[in-house]
Structure 1
Amino acid sequence: MRLTPLSLLTRVAAAGLASTTALPVLAAESTTALDELVVVGNRAPSQISEVPGTVWVLEGEKLQRQFDSGQTLKDTLGKLIPGMDLGTQNRTNFGQNLRGRSVLVMIDGVSLNSSRGVSRQFDSIDPFNIERIEVLSGATAIYGGGSTGGIINIITKKGETGDTQFETELGATTGFNKTDDRVFRAGQAISGGNEDVKGRLALAVQDNGGFYDGNGDQIQPDITQTDLQYNRSVDLMGSLQFNLTDSQSLDVTAQYYNSGYQGEKGLFVGPNLSQLNDPEIRSGFQSDRTPESDRYLLNASYRNTDFLGHTAYLQASTRMEEVSFHPFPGRTADDPDTPIPEMPYQGASKQNTEQHNLKAMLVKDIDDVRLTYGVDLDREDFDANQMIFDLNQALASGLLVNDKVFTTPRYPQYRVDGVAGFFQAEWQATDRLKLDAGVRHRRASLEVGSFVPVQQRVNIAAGIGTAAEPIPGGKNDYNVSLLNAGAIYDLTDSQQVWGNFSQGMEIPDPGKALGQGNYALTGMNGQYVLTDFLNLNDNNLPAVKTNQVELGWRQYTTDWDVQVASYYTWSDEATEVTDQLTIRVVDAKTRDYGLEAGADWRITDQWQVGGSAHYVRSEVKRNSEWQKKTVTEASLPKTTAHVQWANDQTTVRFQGAHAFDVDDEQGNEIDGPTTFDLQATQRLAAGELTLGVNNVFDKQYTTVWSQRAKLFYGLPEVTDFQGRGRTYTLSYAVEY
């Protein structure tokens, strides 16, 4: 069953589509069509056939089956979006790039990215509340910064006109290793309404136990970027849609999402770190700060189809989030001018972000020309603190017991204010040829407060020094213009070719790039005096601009869905992660180029096969030669394949994913994993039952994040994170 473009258009909000009508149980898997409406291509609703770029849409049975069989959001995106890296199995999505570069993640058009690069965008919503996902591959600036690799827009479920409807989902996952090897999921929603107002209210909860590898051993807790063992998440989401008049509508969505550690197991490294080379998992972990993501989101979208001869869109949104990390050891720096040794400490950070956005857009059709223009306003406030724990107690307990001693700022506090104007023109030059071009200009200011680093505050708390001179804050203004142009040509009614040039941008992480300085201590009981520091007023933090050219072809028929695109992405500056885990902007030419392809072939009414491939090579220019990027940054090429059989009652799907190895000039190598999954769904008299077997062959492997973390942190045994072994998931879903 497929909704027509007209029926979809009535559900369009300013920043995204509301939900489509729920598919019947085990309806034929939806296929993408050229006339399908998306908003990810140019913000206003457009058919895929009007977008000169690579667009992927996940919805209906195809998307729901992945979730019901135990696949996470990160897993699903990695396995179903050709250009997306395979997902990590911990809390962070660091390094899960799109076409080798960072991706902008949104919920109903509201950005989950911030200038502080905390990679938890996929720890933000329960799959129970997801209706569909739209993906635009490649650099773009239509929604602002952070999208140098592309955009993922998660569209939430909304209420439908009609009688009150209830939706219930229950699920459980286990590998049958130990009693704590389990995941429980539950979701409940109520929805309904009439032609004037309709809504949906939903609550989804997931409770995780321990995770086990292919050998049946428990996976080591991640004390760096944290994982999801013994984690509980709660997603409370409500939405209302108002038809104010025949031409005006208002959609309001509110969400509270919390995902945090709830266990008592931790990584024991021995008294006084005596077992750093042989850590073990033990009970008895307790801490005054534990890993957590806590987020509030409010979004209001207004649409008027008859505003001074235009269609007007207005969106206002607020997002507030707090993310906390696992206790982790650190050391203060040596002072070469005084006999002060490095001081160890144990701490955990909490990072707080508030984002407020106002977006206005007008769309005007004049014969064969469509004009889209508007303005975006945004404000972001950031602050962070570091909780310092009792070091002697932490060391004696093997880092299991962490009691607060004091809290101190972790990064400089800052505010980013921005305004951007954009203009886009589309021209249907002939019946088969469509051209478009546009520009986006953004001006922003960055204000940073003064800051005393954690190292100096730890020393002062230990009685070494009495005060420290703050690193001065400052202000940095920047402006950047970004261009795009594209052409799309209809070869037939079902296939197209296109080409485009586009630009994206990102701001280097102010939290890590700033607040750095060197100190000298004037006597053991004196004051820390700055000898030099990074002065924001004298050193701009420029926006890094990314350029991309792309050529593509797609064909959608009743039997085939095929899309292939080649791309070349480059920039003249880059951000690098230093040994101190700070970010700096360097004058360096970087490039990513590759081929992204996906295909589905419906052989008969019951049989379907398909697959995808992504070849990507990431390079940086050093000494006039192109060299491979470090493996901590480079994406892994990948391929996927699936075969599926279905009738009116049953669907069975077998799928596999393989990531290819990558290496760099320093001799480092990342080994890519290969896994297979089996999914089966059965229609019942009421609802449907899904069985999922993930990692069917119980493959033992080291995760990609673990291999990167060993290079980042230099603690190979502490950062040894194995992939999850074979698991079985049973889910039941019913609408009534």
Structure 2
Amino acid sequence: MMKNLQLSLFILLVFSLVSLTTVAQSVKVQGIVKDENGFLPFATIKIGRTSNNADAKGLYGIYLSAGVPVTLKISSAGYQTLLVNLPAIQRDTTINWKLEKIQNDLDEVVVSATRRPEQLRNITSSVTVISRKKLENEIAINPDLTAILANQVPGIAPSAQSGSNVGQNLRGRPMLVMIDGVSQSSPLRNAEVDLRSIDPSVLQQVEVVKGATAIYGNGAAGGLVNYITLVPDTAQKFAGKTDISYNGSLVKLKNSAGGRISQMFYGKTNKFDYVLSGVAEQTGEYRDAKGDIVGPNYSLGETDSYNAFAKIGYQPTKNQRLQLVYNFYSSLQHSNYTLINGNLATGQKATGKLGAPAGIPTGNQYNHNLHFSYKLDSLFLKTSLTADAYYENREDVFYVSAGRFDGGDGQSLAHNDKKGARIFLQTPIIDHLPVTANLAYGLDFLRDKTSQPLVDGRVWVPTMDMTNLAPFVQADVNLFRNLIFKTGFRYEHVNIDVDDYQTLRITGANGATVTPSINVTGGALKYNTALFNAGFKYNKLPLFSPFVSYSQGFSVMDIGLALRDARASSIDKINTDAVRVNNYELGFESSFKGLKLTASAYRSTSKLGIEVVYDPATTLYNTNRSPENIYGYELAANFIITPSLNISGSYSYTEGKRDVNGNGKYNDPEDLYLNGRRISAPKITGSINYLPLRVLDLTLNYTGIMKRDRFEKNATSGIYNGNEGVVEPYNLFSFAAGFRVNKNTRLSLGIDNLFNEDYFPARAQWFMQPGFYSKGRGRAVNLGLSVRY
């Protein structure tokens, strides 16, 4: 027994010595991971296959074997990965690391294309990202999101400088506008006011996915615009930012002055992070290049805009996050001018005269968004889960139509009420090089109630109650780190209930009946369709990274337009068939030293159309359902000449025709080009950014709209029909300068329409409506002060 005890003590002693030796041979490396703004939370520090994460304050700690050199990999989404060959360390050491933000657009992280964070270089379709820095430069000139998108995104039609984005399509088709993935659009009644749904000051970036997409389903026939809201860029408990600006005309200053103030607070404390923001903006009179009032129909002159935003995040554990976001936006025109119609035959512009406009103020009365999300990593089999629920409620006010409704005036409202819930899961199937594969799957549910009554309570478009349920599955495979394959399937089940209603009698200028009032029996409209997508990309050669993709899109067309113009006694006799779009795209990305180039060509087809065409006989707009073929190409380049000088540019061309006789061909004499409401004129953009001093940055932007002439004049009137006017070219330049007074204070100067171009915006030219035949805004200035603390 004594021998056994001695043996046990000897073994215990040996193990103790080994343990002490092991501890003695381990050293601790700790410190802080930072970026240019301070602490960088939750960065990853990787040694071989072992990973550790910094905490919310950027603090990290890892154990290494003493005297053994190692390679550390420090990374965080949106930052350049830092590889460090660490020499042999003999004792506990403190080392701080600083990560640099990614400047290469091809390495930006996006979420819209696949509904999860992914590097842009791994996307198999065309995506444009407007970064926070680009947004700030554009806001310094003009904070209108319709103008920012037109200037920065190839494929998006020109801005009309208006509260309405009629005709501002994406590659010739309607797009789905979202805030953090929550739709602001309604395919039931496309009021085309959705681009102005939030103030750009609360956006982290804007992601534009081009071409029909099955990822988000109903409504994304032309692609999507996703406004990604801010995340705190500091690890401090409390930080803030105040922006104040003055804007006005440089052609005629009187009564054109306006102002804007934005107050933001943000920070992180323990497991919570937050962003709180309020914006108030008022514009003065808009003046054209001659100093005359810009026609007040939907003008952004004399407009009051407000935005309230709150985002609260809570991270109970490293792999969980709860987030609540609320956004309120309102933008109404309080004009002191009544409209003077333009003359389409003589080219006389529309303008205004002092007087009280008819009706209530036009614009976005309100837009409420409430969005709750929950994210969990490593649920099972390394599966990640994202579940969210949302609510959106908005009301938009349109202009007064004189003498149109039953012999009298009428002003309509668009009501949109959405409730939805989604579940999204992702499971790694293969996680061993040279092959990795992931499977994403889930279910989307949406309840959308849309209507368009008149202000006085009369029903123009009845309430449409849509229930949309859509299961989906997406897979992506990465072969040998360079060949990427993505594919997916989505099934749309849509049910739309419409009550019995009565159409309004529509009258002409002489009071005669154009369309009579009809009692329409309602009912249920049902749609079931399967959508498929697939894409390849090869990334091995930076000089040439080609991609090819095929994706289907789906939209229940503009049902509200068909219902309000019904000439049948039952909705089952009205053509309300949904539109199914097939999108084909081929392109490449190229990177050589400081030059980055992207190019793509695309084709979009559908057996049914959604073109709004003008009927000269009734003076009404109807929806044409002929098959459509849209095609085009885009080029974009960015060249970093020196660290302080950068130039970029793009060219986009879109064209489309409809198969009027339905024989599957588009070159017959009776086949027609799609009109200006759908197809924009070719567009060129350019930008030069120069930093002559570390505290001074200068930007010169250019947007050029080229000519499009596809239609003949009306033989009776001698002018072009509505939506078919010739677009004559025009060239716009803008300038922005920023001067950093100190670390926390910045002054900005922005000049829009730098050379005071006298022009009609593209929409004014093709729309061919006397009330909208207005000139563009002349030279205007924006002076700003920004203070961080």
Alignment TM class, shorter chain as reference: 0.7 to 0.9
Aligned to 1:448: 498
**Further displaced range: 48-57 or 721-730:** 48-57
Q: CA 1:103/1:196 → structure 2, altered by over 3 Å: closer, same or farther? A: same
Task: Provide, for residues 665-686 of structure 1, a one-character-per-residue CA deviation record: whole Å limited to 9, x for no partner.
Answer: 4354122321111111111124
Q: CA 1:314/1:169 → structure 2, altered by over 3 Å: closer, same or farther? A: same
Aligned to 2:595: 560
Alignment of 1:498-517 (within 5 A): 498-517=547-566
Q: For 2:267 and 2:388, locate their aligned partners in 1 and report how far apart those are by CA, in whole Å.
A: 24
Aligned to 2:246: 172
1:206 and 2:281 matched = yes
1:72 and 2:144 matched = yes
Contact 1:299–1:315 (8 Å) recurs in 2: yes
Aligned to 1:256: 328
So what's the TM-score if we normalise by structure 2?
Answer: 0.79
Please list every run of 5 or more consecutive structure 1 residues that lacks an aligned counterpart in the other structure. Answer: 12-17, 22-26, 271-275, 333-342, 388-405, 519-532
Post-superposition offset of 1:501: 0.7
The match for 2:629 among 558, 567, 591 is 591
Post-superposition offset of 1:36: 2.9
Contact 1:506–1:544 (8 Å) recurs in 2: yes
Aligned to 1:620: 658
Q: For 2:464 and 2:54, locate their aligned partners in 1 and report how far apart those are by CA, in whole Å.
A: 41
Q: CA 1:278/1:217 → structure 2, altered by over 3 Å: closer, same or farther? A: closer
Q: CA 1:638/1:280 → structure 2, altered by over 3 Å: closer, same or farther? A: closer
Q: CA 1:132/1:269 → structure 2, altered by over 3 Å: closer, same or farther? A: closer
Aligned to 1:601: 639
Q: CA 1:638/1:155 → structure 2, altered by over 3 Å: closer, same or farther? A: same
Q: For 2:199 and 2:307, locate their aligned partners in 1 and report how far apart those are by CA, in whole Å.
A: 6
Q: For 2:542 and 2:446, locate their aligned partners in 1 and report how far apart those are by CA, in whole Å.
A: 41
Contact 2:503–2:517 (8 Å) recurs in 1: no
Q: For 1:665 and 1:280, locate their aligned partners in 2 and report how far apart those are by CA, in whole Å.
A: 27
Aligned to 2:537: 488
Q: For 1:635 and 1:10, locate their aligned partners in 2 and report how far apart those are by CA, in whole Å.
A: 49
1:703 and 2:761 matched = yes
Task: Provide, for residues 371-397 of structure 1, a one-character-per-residue CA deviation record: whole Å limited to 9, x for no partner.
Answer: 01111000111223213xxxxxxxxxx
Contact 1:413–1:449 (8 Å) recurs in 2: yes
Aligned to 1:408: 458
The match for 2:679 among 618, 622, 634 is 634
Task: Provide, for residues 547-572 of structure 1, a one-character-per-residue CA deviation record: whole Å limited to 9, x for no partner.
Answer: 11111111346622321111111111
Q: For 2:166 and 2:115, locate their aligned partners in 1 and report how far apart those are by CA, in whole Å.
A: 26
Q: CA 1:140/1:279 → structure 2, altered by over 3 Å: closer, same or farther? A: closer
Aligned to 1:372: 440
Contact 2:207–2:225 (8 Å) recurs in 1: yes
Q: For 1:629 and 1:288, locate their aligned partners in 2 and report how far apart those are by CA, in whole Å.
A: 34
Aligned to 2:707: 661
Q: CA 1:411/1:372 → structure 2, altered by over 3 Å: closer, same or farther? A: same
Task: Provide, for residues 259-287 of structure 1, a one-character-per-residue CA deviation record: whole Å limited to 9, x for no partner.
Answer: 112233222579xxxxx999762323054
1:705 aligned counterpart, secondary structure:
helix
Q: For 2:146 and 2:315, locate their aligned partners in 1 and report how far apart those are by CA, in whole Å.
A: 35
Contact 2:639–2:646 (8 Å) recurs in 1: yes
The match for 2:168 among 89, 96, 107 is 96
Task: Provide, for residues 579-625 of structure 1, a one-character-per-residue CA deviation record: whole Å limited to 9, x for no partner.
Answer: 36554352x23122111121111111221122111122222223444
Aligned to 2:730: 673
Q: CA 1:732/1:542 → structure 2, altered by over 3 Å: closer, same or farther? A: same
2:505 aligned counterpart, secondary structure:
helix
**Further displaced range: 477-486 or 27-36:** 27-36
* Aligned-residue CA RMSD (Å): 3.0
The residue type equivalent to 1:163 in the other structure is: K
Aligned to 2:401: 328
The match for 2:783 among 723, 730, 734 is 730
1:229 and 2:301 matched = yes
Q: For 1:548 and 1:265, locate their aligned partners in 2 and report how far apart those are by CA, in whole Å.
A: 45
Q: CA 1:288/1:591 → structure 2, altered by over 3 Å: closer, same or farther? A: closer
1:722 aligned counterpart, secondary structure:
coil
Q: For 1:620 and 1:480, locate their aligned partners in 2 and report how far apart those are by CA, in whole Å.
A: 23
2:410 aligned counterpart, secondary structure:
strand
The residue type equivalent to 2:532 in the other structure is: L
The match for 1:537 among 572, 593, 613 is 572
Task: Provide, for residues 466-497 of structure 1, a one-character-per-residue CA deviation record: whole Å limited to 9, x for no partner.
Answer: x9773211111011111111111113257521
Contact 1:508–1:584 (8 Å) recurs in 2: no
1:358 and 2:417 matched = no
Q: For 1:106 and 1:2, locate their aligned partners in 2 and report how far apart those are by CA, in whole Å.
A: 30
**Further displaced range: 539-548 or 321-330:** 539-548
Contact 1:29–1:62 (8 Å) recurs in 2: no
The residue type equivalent to 2:238 in the other structure is: T
Q: CA 1:517/1:308 → structure 2, altered by over 3 Å: closer, same or farther? A: same
Q: For 2:788 and 2:453, locate their aligned partners in 1 and report how far apart those are by CA, in whole Å.
A: 45
Contact 1:30–1:61 (8 Å) recurs in 2: no
Post-superposition offset of 1:6: 7.3
Contact 2:542–2:591 (8 Å) recurs in 1: no
The residue type equivalent to 2:530 in the other structure is: S
Post-superposition offset of 1:350: 1.3
Contact 2:562–2:574 (8 Å) recurs in 1: no
Aligned to 2:361: 290
Aligned to 1:193: 268
The residue type equivalent to 1:220 in the other structure is: G
Post-superposition offset of 1:297: 0.5
Task: Provide, for residues 25-74 of structure 1, a one-character-per-residue CA deviation record: whole Å limited to 9, x for no partner.
Answer: xx999623544321111112212222111122221322211111225211
**Further displaced range: 421-430 or 234-243:** 421-430
Task: Provide, for residues 501-535 of structure 1, a one-character-per-residue CA deviation record: whole Å limited to 9, x for no partner.
Answer: 111121121211114455xxxxxxxxxxxxxx152
So what's the TM-score if we normalise by structure 1?
Answer: 0.85
Aligned to 1:422: 472
Task: Provide, for residues 388-433 of structure 1, a one-character-per-residue CA deviation record: whole Å limited to 9, x for no partner.
Answer: xxxxxxxxxxxxxxxxxx4311211210111001111111233321
Aligned to 1:137: 210
The residue type equivalent to 1:637 in the other structure is: P
Total equivalences in the alignment: 664
Post-superposition offset of 1:136: 1.4
Greater relative contact order (CA < 8 Å, ≥ 6 in sequence): 1
Task: Provide, for residues 703-724 of structure 1, a one-character-per-residue CA deviation record: whole Å limited to 9, x for no partner.
Answer: 12212332xx4xx3x3321001
The residue type equivalent to 1:70 in the other structure is: N
The residue type equivalent to 1:365 in the other structure is: P
Q: For 2:54 and 2:296, locate their aligned partners in 1 and report how far apart those are by CA, in whole Å.
A: 47
Q: CA 1:494/1:131 → structure 2, altered by over 3 Å: closer, same or farther? A: farther
**Further displaced range: 494-503 or 505-514:** 494-503
Q: For 2:666 and 2:541, locate their aligned partners in 1 and report how far apart those are by CA, in whole Å.
A: 43
